């Protein structure tokens, strides 16, 4: 489980830093429907405080990892109920 979390962290942080580089180079395109990552990178907590990369990484990991945990829990729970092991 820890290994999958580390892999997920590496993947997400790599995408954030790649996108940050594109944004700093002016290659951050305006899309009709921006991705979650693009929306977070354009988010400001206050007029002088942009959302930091570590918060963006945490938010993206949460959106990617929690559904997986929920699916595993529901799958296991449904199998238990079907087998009568309630």
pTM of the model: 0.66
Residue 86 reports pLDDT greater than 50: no
**14-71 per-position pLDDT tens digit:** 999 998 898 888 876 667 788 888 889 989 999 999 999 999 998 888 877 665 555 5
Structural domain for 30, as ranges: 2-82
Domains in the chain, number: 1
Give the DSSP letter string of the chain: -HHHHHHHHHHHHHHHHHHHHHHHTT-----SS--HHHHHHT-EEETTEEPPHHHHHHHHHHHHHHHHHHHHHHHHHHHHHHTT--
């Amino acid at each position: 489980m820890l290994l999958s979390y580390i892999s997920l962290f590496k993947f997400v942080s790599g995408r954030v830093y790649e996108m940050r580089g594109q944004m700093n180079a002016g290659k951050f395109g305006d899309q009709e429907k921006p991705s979650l990552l693009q929306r977070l990178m354009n988010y400001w907590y206050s007029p002088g405080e942009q959302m930091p990369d570590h918060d963006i990484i945490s938010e993206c990991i949460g959106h990617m990892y929690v559904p997986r945990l929920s699916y595993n829990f529901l799958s296991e729970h449904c199998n238990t109920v079907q087998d009568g092991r309630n």
